[in-house]
Amino acid sequence: MKSILVLSAAICAGASLLDIPEGHPLVNWRPAGPGDVRSPCPMLNALANHGILPHDGKNITEEQTINALKSTINLNEDLAKTQFEAALTTNPDPHATTYSLDDLCSHGILEHDASLSRQDYYFGDDHSFNQAVFDQTRSHWKGPFIDVEQAARARQARVDKSNATNPDFGLSKDALSLTYGESAAYIIVFGNKTSGVVNKSWVEYFFQFERLPIALGWTKNEDEITSSDQQTIAQKIMDASNKPAGE
């Protein structure tokens, strides 16, 4: 993505807009309905809501996952495959070759305490968007853009809140790593993966509606997103979290 700013509509004088057909998956969005399943992961939910993954959220294949992540947010194929393999571990069938979104709700595999937008498993529903939880997260995002310092404060606040209120609170080493990676993800997918800055309105829209913020001007990153990109921003968030107050 060349910029976190909305691209100008008048790139060249007299240029005509493409005629987007009805039913195009990025336009044809609808939330989950009866019989559909969803997960604690807002991105996978959004892809299902757009119909890029199966709308019912069930029996998702490796090919479907990789194609969806590559075509929609330009994830590198290796990283997209890693995401599929991680999701597959949540299927209780050890011989499974597909996963369903509600498999990801199993506590302690990929789902974990201190989510940015979900309440902890201890309190009940750990997979649906929770406005109160998300309001705490976004209270640390000041101004129109989110940088790594604000992302770090929001992530740490959720960890502290869960630790203080959840008697069964726990984060394994892997889960703790996930919390940094998840905060990095919304920056590199919707923002500038080099500067580590993202348009706040796009991130809020994505979390609250589980819908890609195309209507607000977002376009997918022009360069492939790699595991190195995510690790770089995650490390910056970790470093910012470890800074003494006032620095």
Q: In the chain, what are the domain boundaries?
A: 37-111, 112-247
Q: Is 197 helix (H, G, I), strand (E, B) or coil?
A: strand
- pLDDT of 81: 98
Q: What is the phi-psi region of residue 231: left when phi exceeds 0, alpha when psi lies from -120 to 50, beta otherwise?
A: alpha
Q: What's the pLDDT tens digit per position in 8-61?
A: 232 333 333 444 444 455 568 999 999 999 999 999 999 999 999 999 999 999
pLDDT exceeds 60 at position 247: no
Q: Can you read off the two tokens belonging to residue 228?
A: 């190195």
pLDDT-based confidence at residue 242 (cuts at 50, 70, 90) = confident
**What's the whole-model pTM score?**
0.88
Query: In Å, how far are 14, 43, 158, 199, 223 from 136, measured between CA atoms?
Result: 45, 20, 8, 18, 32
- Which whole number is the average pLDDT over 187-193? 97
CATH architecture label of 112-247? Orthogonal Bundle (1.10)
pLDDT of 121-161, one tens digit each?
Answer: 999 999 999 999 999 999 999 999 999 999 999 999 999 99
More confident residue, 4 or 214: 214
Is residue 187 pLDDT above 50, yes or no? yes
Question: pLDDT at position 31, please?
Answer: 96
Residue type at 15 in one-letter notation: A
